[in-house]
Amino acid sequence: MSEEIGKIENELSTGLVIAGAYANKLRRTLFAQLKDLVKKNKEFAREVARASAEINRLLYIILVENLGCDKGDVVRVRVKYVVDPSEWRIKWDYDTLRIEYFKRQPDEKVLEVVKKVLKEKLAEIQEQYREAPTREEAEKILRGEIKTPEEEWAEEKEEKTLEVMGSTQPIVEKAEKPGVVDVRNEIVTVDPIGETLMGGAIFRIANDKGENIGIASLEPHAGGWIIDAIIIKEGKAYRAHLKAQHNKEEYMSKPDLLAEELRKASLIEISKKDAESIIKAKMEEIT
């Protein structure tokens, strides 16, 4: 990487996110923050992939192996980093690493674990991720086609489990929740409103009056596509998470296909606050 760049200092924050999605959110956020550099030098994508893999492994040891974090728990990770202009290297400032873990764990315990893992595992992890992947591998990693152990953990039993924001929200099958059918019937039109940095798309969901009642995101996943939809009605919020039956181009040209799938999807009820937070995060991903 021969092109000169000035020193870049920045802070990364995942925002509030379910623990099962932290690794993907962190990688995508880092890529979004450094997308201009990646456009200037395609090889830099390898370094983004390497740096995100390094910190995600560290976070997995802290959250899962030491704190016993479940996929449905909520976390927020903040950390500063520097892009070294002499070697196009991303260097995490681990002294600034802060983790908020919403399972009523004492902050002192979390801080204790952070310090313990930094002391015992940081050098090992940095050595493990010292070399960046090949450019081809990096592109697959950033598209989510190659999964890290942390992401595989998050997706384990995906066929049987619907993930929700927060561990206290029950998973409710459509036949068990009166009113869910009515919510699905509110879905009349679905219109694309933009594409995301990772090659996905965001759609607006509207009722028969043309009123916005939610959004749906379409993201690449393991060679296919995943739909994640949020609907808010009368102060209640619902979420659908399902495998797409078509590709992005088909949904963009024929959004009624997406509307039809959402009207048949299983919904789970989540808090309105969580729904609004998810919608905000998804809208920020639009390029």
Mean pLDDT to the nearest integer, 64-83? 91
Q: Which residues of 21-37 are buried (b: 16+ CB within 10 A; e: fewer)?
A: bbbbbbbbbbbbbbeeb
pLDDT of residue 176: 36
**Which one has a higher pLDDT value, 87 or 178?**
87
pLDDT at 110 over 60: yes
Strand segments, DSSP code E, in 61-110 are 74-84, 89-102
pLDDT at 55 over 60: yes
Q: What is the CATH number of domain 8-155?
A: 3.30.470
Would you state the pLDDT for residue 244?
92
Give the pLDDT confidence score for residue 4 in this predicted structure. 57
Tokens of 122: 């940081």
Q: Find the range with the poorest average confidence among 11-15, 84-88, 153-157.
A: 153-157
Using CA atoms, how far apart are residues 137 and 229, in angstroms rounded to an integer?
30
Q: Please tell me the distance from the alpha carbon of residue 195 to that of residue 228, in angstroms, as a whole number.
A: 14
Query: Residue 2 pLDDT more than 70?
Result: no
What is the mean predicted confidence (pLDDT) over 118-122?
94
Confidence at 157, pLDDT banded by 50, 70, 90: very low
Q: pLDDT digits over 186-198, tens only?
A: 899 999 998 886 7
**Mean per-residue pLDDT over the chain, rounded:** 83
The phi, psi pair for 139, rounded to 5°, reads -65, -40
Which tens digits make up the pLDDT trace of 217-243?
998 876 789 999 999 988 889 998 888
pLDDT digits (tens, 9 = 90+) for 17-27: 888 889 999 99
Cβ–Cβ < 8 Å for 139, 19: no
Q: Answer whether residue 150 shows pLDDT above 80.
A: no
> Amino acid identity of 87?
E
Domain range list for the chain:
8-155, 174-283
- Between 183 and 64, whose confidence is greater? 64
Q: What is the pLDDT of residue 72?
A: 82
Check: CB of residue 31 under 8 Å from CB of residue 142: yes
